[in-house]
Structure 1
Amino acid sequence: MKKTAIALAILGTIGAAQAQTSVSMYGIVDVSMRHETDAQAGRARTAEVSGMMNTSRWGFRGSEDLGGDLKAHFQLEGGFNPDTGAQSEGLSLFDRRAIVGLSGKWGRIDIGRTPTFGWDYTPVYDPLGGALATPTPTSRASGRASLLVNGFMFVTNNPYNSSKLRDNSIKYVYTASNGLLGAVAYNVGEVAGDSSKRSGRQAAIGYMKGDINAIAAYDLLHDANNLEQKVVTVGGNYRFARAWKATLGYAALTADAGFAPSSTVVTGAIANYTSTFGVAAGGEIKVATGAAGLEYALTPALSLTGALYRTRVTGTGIPDNDYDTYALFARYAFSKRTSLYGALDHERTSGNGSTATVSGKRANSALTMGIQTRF
């Protein structure tokens, strides 16, 4: 009898411990068909494309209640392309994030490979929330990198994605019950003898509650030669009259000519900004994007979003390069997990001839139809 009681007590203790710990696998599979009028050399192309609404991904996350309102958590997340089955980035298995940390009423700390605040809060100030961002005009550019379809600098396959993810990062976020948000982050450069090289600092403030969301963030990153890249993002969205949401956003990246982040710090970094746009040595390059959009929920399942993006590239020794993108995006949710979506987008370039496509054309239109499911 005594042994039975002890056994039951042990089982009860194990059950309680398991109840305080949660681990789950999750992911997104997003694939579409996309037809472009000028994919390359003035020729149309139809392709199967991954991640047109959200990047396809898989991951694990979990938490453990440590008592006294203290929790430990972790998250491991990697991107993949369902059209080929390959990793979306070839540098690491968990290319999107790999973190461990603690959280409580005082806030949340993440340590490891973390997204920047600019990328974290893209849905706040980007009317399309990062949709239509995977196929960049770089594949059509005449020897110089163009910008992604929607102009912002926080998505895969974008030459400016040193703004997207950071290795060796320590990140703190606090969100108050009244909606106010404050956050800071630092990534360790790990260069012997000079702690500033390859290091970075970030800060963000915002308000996230109910129908109003707003964010402003600042990001400073050094490369191995102590050249700098700065990114400022600001914007927000407002829901009104039940079915409508208006979004405004602005992002500006400024970098020293020759800035070249290490691939161990960011994902898929280009060689440097000097070789990409031909910016004169000792100068700088600036990429600024403004965006406006309006979303309308026709039914609880069907929404329609119109968006406009205006991007300008300027730099020492180069003419101005302008990019305008117009997009119409529709989504139908079969359930909380599965959606169909479609989009029409048109990109137009102006300014210096280097912004034109390989064929010399300055415009590209595309039709996209896709499906996404979450697990």
Structure 2
Amino acid sequence: MTFRPTMLTAAAGAGLLLLTGCVANKPTGETHAALTVESSADACTVSAAEAPSGNVSFAVTNSSEQVTEFYLLAEDGLRIVGEVENIGPGISRDLVVQARPGNYFTVCKPGMIGEGVGKAAFTVTDSGHDFAADADLAAQVEAANVNYTAYVKDQVSQLVAGTEAFAAAYTAGDDDTARSLYAPTRVHWERVETIAESFGDLDPKLDLREADLEEGQEWTGWHAIEKDLWPEEAGADFQAYSAEKRQRLAASLVGDTQSLNTKVQDLEFTLAQQTNGAIGLLDEVATGKVTGEEEFWSHTDLWDFQANIDGAKVLYGGVRDILVAKDEKLAATLDREFGKLQALLDAQRVGEGFTRYTELTPAEIKSFSDQVNALGEPLNQLTAALVLR
């Protein structure tokens, strides 16, 4: 966590539209594919696993007893390309996406919280559709803003569900389960960390490090619990928390996370806020994760590192088509440097996680630091390239 000026303004009434290069209701051009989706309690059945590029429509019907959502995700499984939400039981809603050739995923989310169900690969083949002919900068910017809003809401909803499971294990004294959930749950926080920093004291309540405590300040949040879960790293003088303190910390963590979820429902973004958000997430890596200071006891810094990069890549991916039209050379540089940094992270993967930070060699840490700097220089040019040119 790093304190910085607010990245965005939270504004009321930011109704979420159904678009990406994506439009609500009927498309302005020819629809190349019309698919159906059935969202049930435990499945997300799409009528076809591929479609030709261009305008693709999804008619989503909710056959479950909960309000549901449908997502088209990018190849990384994180960035939202198109989303339709608030589909009540027995109701149908349409999503029309201007889909470029590539690999995607479809997923439904009954109850509109958690990771969703029925996630499946979806392929868009090249139909020869001329995207340049119907590209409109204002529409692209609007789409990028809307889709990032949807992404933030999705990540925070998954953070809520994960935090509740983590807190339940922690208060029950099931430390092994709590430790196993710690890093995988925090990735949802780290992917949108710069957003949380805009909501006053929520960020320090949830993510303050012990080293940053001011005199007399109450310490709550993830890192206060982290210290208790890894007592062998906390030193011989550390005394394990009482059951009462565990209950208090867990209740605060869950309550503050739910408050964050409420606040992100009214977000709006500008293009500059998105690009500055990507820069801010990389700064989080440079000032905390690459130094090993963030996860002082669990040493799960590389999970956070990956999550910050995930968030920055999602932000960049949402505006990349706009950047290509304005500065193709900068886009190529960012593609290359993001790829190099991801390769370094991939080399440290262990199963579904990563090497503990204390197990990295000085040379490996230097490689990370150097590559963060190599990416930071062109990324810092992104806002000016998009907004001022």
Same fold (TM over 0.5): no
Pick the structure with greater CA Rg. 1
> Could you say which TM-score interval applies, normalised by the shorter chain?
under 0.3
RCO higher in 1 or 2 (8 Å CA, sep ≥ 6)?
2
Q: Provide the TM-score with structure 1 as the length reference.
A: 0.26
Indicate the structure with greater strand content.
1
Q: Provide the TM-score with structure 2 as the length reference.
A: 0.25
